[in-house]
Amino acid sequence: MVPVTLTHYLVASGLLFTIGIVGVIIRRNALMILLAIELMLNAANLSFVAFSRYLGQYSGQIFVFFIMIVAAAEVTVGLAIIIVMARTRGTTDADALRGLKW
């Protein structure tokens, strides 16, 4: 059995981040884009925790805590915007956001 090293965590984090970027680029649904951004934030969290464990310090885990708070606020605001857009325009297509310019 191979022990899980820092490299394994970083590869998993890189894969999650890549999937998130592909999701943001390819998807047109605003909810799916929001989920892809959350996946990228979780990939960054995984690398912070991996480095924190590797270095034996807790500063990375404190950063993860604050990133989770910011992500929760981002989801709240993002979902509110998506709900308003779905009610007024009848769609959650990201191209419809271009009409929200001043």
- pLDDT score, position 100: 62
Which residues in the chain come in under a pLDDT of 70? 99-102
In a domain? residue 28: yes
User: For residue 36, what are the CA distances in angstroms to 90, 94, 97, 99?
Assistant: 22, 13, 17, 23
- Boundaries of domain holding 75: 6-93
DSSP H helical ranges for 27-95: 30-55, 59-89
* Tens-digit pLDDT profile for residues 78-99: 899 889 888 988 888 888 777 6
In a domain? residue 68: yes
Number of domains in the chain: 1
Question: Does pTM surpass 0.75?
Answer: yes
Burial of 76 from C-beta contacts in 10 A (0-12 / 13-18 / 19+): exposed
- pLDDT score, position 96: 73
In a domain? residue 100: no
Return the CATH number at 55.
Answer: 1.10.287.3510
